[in-house]
Amino acid sequence: MACTWLLTSTTYGTWLPGDARGSVSTVKNAPGPRVRHNVYGTPYDPGMPGLHRFAQEKLKCPPILLTSEQANVVLAQFQETARYRHWVLHAAAVMSNHFHLVVSAPEEVPSTNLLRDFKSYAARALNRQWPKPASGTWWTESGSRRPLRGTKQWKPRFTTWAISPASWRCGSPPTTI
């Protein structure tokens, strides 16, 4: 039986701990051990300007924004990874600073492996055509892995591939594949 996941991740440096939009990081709420607010449906960490400044200072390079050409390479690699792994990629959206995937895989495949494989193979594809970033990575660590409700019986109504220029500086038009 397959499980279906919504996977999301960001490019390096584009959403840091302490961000005013909120973030997921390991913090101390009160006396006791640190807590990671990464459980779906629970509050995430509010903006923390001091933590955000600290994270910005620790960046190894400027935040990475994909060009439209790079986004197309990433999308093609996501499709290839799904085919090779025998996963079903129902939908994919690649923006300049993040991506979303809806993917089904056998329930014995952990969602961490899905996200890891998509990101690592996309990074290899990018590294074949562009210099590896000074950060050593194109992506932030980890990402969001949300199971879709009723995933064992989930049936998509369509398959879609999209490249969105929402924050591209080059002003190129959207490409739909």
Query: Per-residue pLDDT for the chain (177 aa), expressed as one digit of tens each?
Result: 889 999 999 999 998 888 888 777 666 667 878 766 666 666 677 788 898 899 899 999 999 999 999 999 999 999 999 999 999 999 999 999 999 999 999 999 999 999 999 999 999 999 999 999 999 999 998 888 988 876 555 555 555 565 554 444 333 333 433
What domains does the chain contain, in order, with CATH numbers?
2-12+64-176 (3.30.70.1290), 26-58 (no CATH)
For 11-78, the three-class secondary structure string (H helix, E strand, C coil) is ECCCCCCCCCCCECCEECCCCCCCEECCCCCCCCECCCHHHHHHHHHHCCCCCCCCCHHHHHHHHHHH
